[in-house]
């Protein structure tokens, strides 16, 4: 789309938005949830070299689950358990359609792309000695080359949950011998990382070792609803996390020792965390405990001192006493391991979507202990927090600013890359193409990120939208859509269609924020009240209110959006 064309969209948008403002004032009742001062629009721009990106993950988009010699991953196994499940067998077919994906990014003006490499697509069994799938290596080379040819920098995740099934079968995956020094899984992850640095590191300058180890540990090896579905909620997650942290450190040191001098890139890890806000002042300690038990579990060793947070250690020691155990269920690192782990992050990757209210439930001894009860907290949500399609996703923009500030204070002011943030819609007919609520989400959340950057001096260097495309949303399959682009999963060609949010995001990137006086900022100003109140309206009868209001708005937005579509298509 040319500059003039999109400017004219924005002009049409401004005109249209005078109506929007008037309508929103008339129709939508003001609700106490909107805090005029806290939620005010900040005008200004991000630092000049700010990274705007969008993200995907291998199992969620690639498909081609068994082409060439690719080995099965634990997610292939889970998805094939019965015939009623959605699978990633084809997904967005990005294994074949990656040039189309790259054109979408290019049209949005994105200069970075976060994707993940599938370990079993490179090493079918997970072990290099068993053989390399050369077609897999060719695929990632082609993807990376096509990105660079389009002036887009790759940001690569090595592990986004698709563990080679053979490693789970042979070694118990991340449960492998977690307390000895001969843990095979660390070395195998190290070999895989080394192979990726060797083959792709001349062009890839940003590496993320693990995506959301909290999910792999707790959902994969604790509760066991995610792959590999190991159910051991008292200890499984602590063993898995211990191994993941050490595997991460190994991959970091391999880069440091063997590649950094020649390749000059960065290696970090991506952690997920909800902001935890105390329900009452008495719940303040519980809210800290919530964050320490989720993000701190990984961040404290890696970014602070090589060891678990103090509050985790003391809580787990007390639990051991109450349970009559001689040792804590939380494993210990040796002094050598602590030194090895500490400082192994060149940047702090953060995935953030939502906020929870935390209440203190300390300290009733429990018969069947689990990670859930170990924290001695309860979580809930304020009644005026609007919701997305995913059951866990409440829209609380100010949460991300608080969390970014907390990371700055707690971990010595690291460079922070927001590696995921976004909002889901239901898969419904007709498709939600005028995705106003996603536009509002991105508008409100990125503005809070800008407050963290420009007002609180948090060194936030990147913002990544989840996701470039609608894709396989894990246990929810194709029923929840996070994409800036719509994918028709019934269409064998998996054609991609831009949603309204992709046009909004393009303007956001082009403006690098919300500069005073720009047409874009005027549009945002007019939308601001609507966005905060749409979300308010949603609360009062979730499906009714908001969708009616947004369909009314889409009537007005339809014209500029249709112009945008015809220009993109």
Judged by CB under 6 A, the stretch of 209-217, 311-319, 362-370, 505-513 that binds ligand PNW is 209-217
Tell me the closest approach of the beta carbon of residue 540 to ligand PNW, in angstroms.
25
Tell me the closest approach of the beta carbon of residue 390 to ligand PNW, in angstroms.
6
94 binds ligand PNW (CB under 6 A): no
402 is written with which tokens? 């608080």
Output 9 or 416, the one with its CB closest to ligand PNW: 416
CA atoms of 328 and 249, how far apart (whole Å): 23
437 binds ligand PNW (CB under 6 A): no
Tell me the closest approach of the beta carbon of residue 68 to ligand PNW, in angstroms.
24
DSSP 8-state assignment for residue 282: G
CA atoms of 428 and 550, how far apart (whole Å): 15
The SS3 call for residue 158 is strand
Judged by CB under 6 A, the stretch of 4-12, 208-216, 373-381, 510-518 that binds ligand PNW is 208-216
Output 153 or 471, the one with its CB closest to ligand PNW: 471
- Cβ(561)–Cβ(503) under 8 Å? yes
Please pick, from the candidates 272, 277, 464, 547, the single residue that binds ligand PNW as defined by CB under 6 A.
Answer: 272
Please pick, from the candidates 283, 473, 536, 538, the single residue that binds ligand PNW as defined by CB under 6 A.
Answer: 473
CA atoms of 122 and 227, how far apart (whole Å): 20
Contacts (CB under 6 A) with ligand PNW, residues 336-355: 351
Output 418 or 524, the one with its CB closest to ligand PNW: 418
Active site residue 420: yes
99 is written with which tokens? 């040039």
212 binds ligand PNW (CB under 6 A): yes
- Cβ(211)–Cβ(157) under 8 Å? yes
Tell me the closest approach of the beta carbon of residue 223 to ligand PNW, in angstroms.
11
CA atoms of 108 and 114, how far apart (whole Å): 15
73 binds ligand PNW (CB under 6 A): no
Tell me the closest approach of the beta carbon of residue 161 to ligand PNW, in angstroms.
7
CA atoms of 474 and 67, how far apart (whole Å): 21
CA atoms of 185 and 173, how far apart (whole Å): 7
> How far is residue 40 CA from its own chain's centroid?
25
Give the end-to-end CA distance of the chain in Å, rounded to a whole number: 10
Please pick, from the candidates 113, 442, 466, 505, the single residue that binds ligand PNW as defined by CB under 6 A.
Answer: 466
Nearest partner of 437 among 389, 473, 399, 392, judged by Cα: 389
Output 480 or 536, the one with its CB closest to ligand PNW: 480
The SS3 call for residue 49 is coil
Tell me the closest approach of the beta carbon of residue 89 to ligand PNW, in angstroms.
17
54 binds ligand PNW (CB under 6 A): no
Tell me the closest approach of the beta carbon of residue 178 to ligand PNW, in angstroms.
24
181 is written with which tokens? 């020094």
Tell me the closest approach of the beta carbon of residue 470 to ligand PNW, in angstroms.
10
CA atoms of 440 and 386, how far apart (whole Å): 12
Output 283 or 420, the one with its CB closest to ligand PNW: 420
Residue with the CB atom nearest ligand PNW in the bound state = 392
CA atoms of 207 and 193, how far apart (whole Å): 9
Judged by CB under 6 A, the stretch of 124-132, 210-218, 233-241, 375-383 that binds ligand PNW is 210-218
Looking up tokens 């976060």 gives 114
380 is written with which tokens? 């809930």
Output 20 or 469, the one with its CB closest to ligand PNW: 469
426 binds ligand PNW (CB under 6 A): no
Does an H or E element contain 564, and which?
helix 542-568
* Residue 81 burial (CB count, 10 A): 11
Tell me the closest approach of the beta carbon of residue 388 to ligand PNW, in angstroms.
10
Q: Which of 212, 420, 480, 538 is catalytic?
A: 420
Output 46 or 214, the one with its CB closest to ligand PNW: 214
Output 159 or 171, the one with its CB closest to ligand PNW: 159
How many of the chain's residues bind ligand PNW (CB under 6 A)? 12
DSSP 8-state assignment for residue 276: E
The answer to whether the bond into 240 is cis (omega within 30° of 0) is no
Contacts (CB under 6 A) with ligand PNW, residues 241-270: none
Tell me the closest approach of the beta carbon of residue 482 to ligand PNW, in angstroms.
6
425 binds ligand PNW (CB under 6 A): no
57 binds ligand PNW (CB under 6 A): yes
Please pick, from the candidates 183, 211, 328, 421, the single residue that binds ligand PNW as defined by CB under 6 A.
Answer: 211
Contacts (CB under 6 A) with ligand PNW, residues 392-421: 392, 420
The answer to whether the bond into 430 is cis (omega within 30° of 0) is yes
Looking up tokens 């988009």 gives 61
Residue 374: Cβ-neighbour burial (10 angstroms; 0-12, 13-18, 19+): buried
Output 10 or 468, the one with its CB closest to ligand PNW: 468
SS3 readout for 408-475: HHHCCCCCEEEEECCCCEECCCCCCCCCHHHHHHHHHHHHHHHHHHHCCCCCEEEEEEECCECCCCHH
62 binds ligand PNW (CB under 6 A): no
Binding site for ligand PNW (CB under 6 A): 57, 60, 211-212, 215, 272, 351, 392, 420, 466, 473, 482
- Annotated catalytic residues are 420
């Amino acid at each position: 789309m040319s500059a003039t064309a999109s400017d004219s969209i924005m002009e049409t948008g401004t005109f249209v938005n005078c109506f929007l403002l008037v309508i929103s004032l008339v129709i939508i009742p003001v609700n106490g949830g909107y805090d005029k001062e806290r939620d005010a629009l900040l005008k200004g721009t991000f630092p000049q070299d700010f990274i705007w990106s969008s993200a995907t993950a291998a199992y969620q988009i690639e498909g081609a689950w068994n082409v060439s010699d690719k080995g099965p991953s634990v997610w292939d196994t889970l998805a094939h358990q019965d015939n009623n499940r959605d699978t990633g067998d084809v997904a967005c077919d990005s294994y074949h359609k990656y040039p189309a994906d790259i054109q979408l990014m290019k049209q949005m003006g994105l200069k970075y792309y976060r994707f993940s490499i599938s370990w079993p697509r490179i090493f079918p069994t997970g072990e290099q000695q068993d053989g390399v799938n050369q077609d897999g290596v060719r695929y990632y080379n082609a993807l990376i080359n096509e990105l660079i040819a389009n002036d887009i920098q790759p940001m690569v995740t090595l592990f986004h949950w698709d563990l080679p099934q053979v490693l789970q079968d042979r070694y118990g995956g991340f449960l492998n011998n977690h307390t000895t020094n001969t843990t095979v899984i660390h070395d195998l992850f190290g070999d895989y990382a080394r192979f990726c640095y060797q083959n792709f590191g001349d062009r890839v300058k940003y590496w993320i070792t693990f995506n959301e180890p909290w999910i792999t540990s707790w959902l994969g090896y604790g509760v066991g609803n995610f792959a590999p579905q190991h159910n051991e909620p008292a200890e499984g997650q602590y063993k898995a996390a211990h191994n993941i942290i050490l595997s991460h450190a190994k991959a970091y040191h391999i880069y440091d020792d063997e590649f950094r001098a020649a390749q000059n890139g960065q290696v970090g890890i991506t952690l997920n965390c909800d902001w935890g806000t105390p329900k009452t002042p008495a719940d303040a300690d519980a809210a800290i405990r919530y964050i320490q038990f989720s993000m701190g579990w990984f961040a404290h060793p890696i970014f602070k001192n090589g060891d678990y947070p103090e509050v985790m250690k003391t809580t787990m020691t007390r639990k051991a006493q109450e349970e009559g155990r001689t040792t804590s269920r939380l494993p210990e690192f040796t002094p050598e391991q602590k030194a090895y782990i500490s400082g192994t992050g060149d940047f702090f990757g953060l995935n953030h979507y939502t906020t929870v209210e935390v209440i203190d439930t300390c300290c009733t001894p429990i018969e069947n202990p689990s990670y859930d009860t170990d924290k001695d907290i309860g979580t809930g949500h304020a009644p005026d927090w609007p919701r997305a399609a995913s059951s866990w996703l409440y829209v609380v923009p100010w949460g991300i600013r608080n969390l970014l500030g907390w990371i700055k204070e707690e971990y010595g002011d690291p460079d922070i890359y927001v590696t995921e943030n976004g909002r889901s819609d239901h898969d419904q007919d007709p498709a939600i193409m005028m995705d106003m609520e996603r536009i509002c989400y991105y508008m409100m959340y990125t503005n809070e990120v800008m407050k963290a950057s420009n007002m609180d001096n948090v060194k936030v260097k990147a913002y990544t939208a989840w996701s470039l495309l609608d894709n396989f949303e894990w246990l929810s399959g194709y029923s929840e859509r996070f994409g800036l682009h719509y994918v028709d999963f019934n269409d064998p060609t998996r054609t991609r269609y831009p949603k309204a949010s992709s046009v909004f995001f393009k303007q956001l990137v082009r403006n690098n924020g919300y500069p005073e006086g720009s047409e874009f900022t005027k549009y945002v100003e007019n939308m601001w009240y609507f966005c905060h109140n749409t979300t308010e309206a949603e609360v009062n009868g979730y499906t009714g209110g908001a969708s009616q209001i947004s369909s009314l708005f889409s009537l007005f937005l339809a014209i500029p959006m249709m112009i945008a579509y015809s220009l993109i298509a």
